Structure 1
Amino acid sequence: MSEEIVNEKEELIDPIAQSPGYDETESFVGIWGHPLHAMSVAFPVALTFCNFGADFLYWWSGELFWARAAIWAAGTAFLFGLAAGATGTAELLMVPGIRIRAPAWTHFVIAVLLLSLLGLNWGYRLQGYEAAVLPYGILMSGFNVLVVMVTGWHGGKLVFDYRLGTSKGS
């Protein structure tokens, strides 16, 4: 009886893995073989952390400089995030091996949420950057740090576990 169960497990076929283009995972959007999405995500990630750090330092010290730094970090995180999102969306839609996998769509949805939150954070601060920090600005930037960590973790799994959106070289 146990041999029948083992034989049944061997016969299982993943229908997604049988799809045409499943193995086509190399980046189409790059410069000289270097994927643009992988290169561009570092900026919005770092700036999201900088935004939270500047908010924290403003709360701790009361120095106006940190509130100004926070609005700049929030705005540039959002704008660089748009660029990273554009290259990531292009990869998702153009590469069949990426488009067919559900984890790529999970990463996409969370990244769109992150972009929305980054834009909200920046827009909120445009009404008055000093008054915006406490309490809602620091709460938004802290939540953005959590979302960027989840998004980055999913993106890292796509690259390191599935080798999606990478350049395999010639």
Structure 2
Amino acid sequence: MEGNPRSTAHIADHPIHPMLIPFPVVFVVSTLFCDLAFWRSGSPFWPQAALWLLGGALVFGTLAALAGLTDFLGEKRIRALSDAWQHFIGNAIAIVLTLVNFYLRYQNGDPAVLPEGLLLSLIVVGIFLFTGWKGWEMVYRHRVGVADEETRLR
């Protein structure tokens, strides 16, 4: 038996992808909260904070995507999983929508928040809920990146 599908992007047998994914998720969810706060208060603080959060989401989302793509391309058993394809495609769409959200806000300022920016933030959070579910399906059901018994004993 070959054991569990391994992460090819790792440090000391610890997969890099799951170490990076919390950052873009938190940044995008925080952007949604900033958008809602702006909608409620009209304070110019919130769109400025959201723009910085979207920038962080793009930086860390790109790093997480590179680590995830390395795993995806480096292990044929991962590519064989439909959950992996759904996770991959959904996150690619989320990064593109985040880039569009950032660009609109950078170009147009506060007016870009309502309704377009808020709607894009909401859509990306929804996508992350789906792709997060698929990511955990890969870990818990398909044991992607989970150490085999002999690895844990080292």
Please, what TM-score do these two structures have when normalized by structure 1?
A: 0.82
Aligned AA for 2:43?
E
Structure 2 counterpart of 1:146:
126
CA displacement 1:27-73 (0-9 Å, x = unmatched): 12111221100111110111110010001111111111111001111
Give the % identical residues: 33
Equivalent in 37, 46, 49 of residue 57 of structure 1: 37
User: Higher mean Cα deviation, 95-104 or 115-124?
Assistant: 95-104
Larger Rg: 1
1:82 counterpart = 2:62? yes
CA contact under 8 A between 2:84 and 2:138: conserved in structure 1? yes
What residue is the counterpart of 1:158 in the other structure? 138
Checking the alignment, whether the CA contact within 8 Å between 1:48 and 1:141 is kept in structure 2 is yes
Q: State the one-letter code of the partner of 1:108.
A: F
Tell me if structure 2 keeps the 8 A contact 1:117–1:144: yes
Instruction: State the number of aligned residues.
Output: 150
**2:25 is the alignment partner of 1:45:** yes
Which residue, 49, 54, 78 being the options, matches 1:69? 49
1:103 is aligned to: 83
Q: Which runs of 5+ in 2 are unaligned?
A: none
Question: Structure 1 stretches of 5 or more lacking a match?
Answer: 1-19
Match in the other structure for 2:8? 28
Label 1:166 to 1:124 Cα distance change in 2 as closer, same or farther (>3 A): farther
Aligned equivalent of 1:132, options 93, 112, 130: 112
**1:100 positional shift:** 2.1
Q: Alpha-carbon deviation of 1:129?
A: 2.6
Q: Residue 100 of structure 2: which of 120, 139, 150 is its match?
A: 120
CA apart distance, 1:167: 3.6
TM-score, with structure 2 as normaliser: 0.90
Q: What do you get for the CA RMSD once the two structures are aligned?
A: 1.6
Distance between the aligned counterparts of 2:107 and 2:128, measured in 1? 24
Secondary structure at the aligned position of 1:79 is classed as: helix
| Deviation for aligned residue 1:24 | 4.8
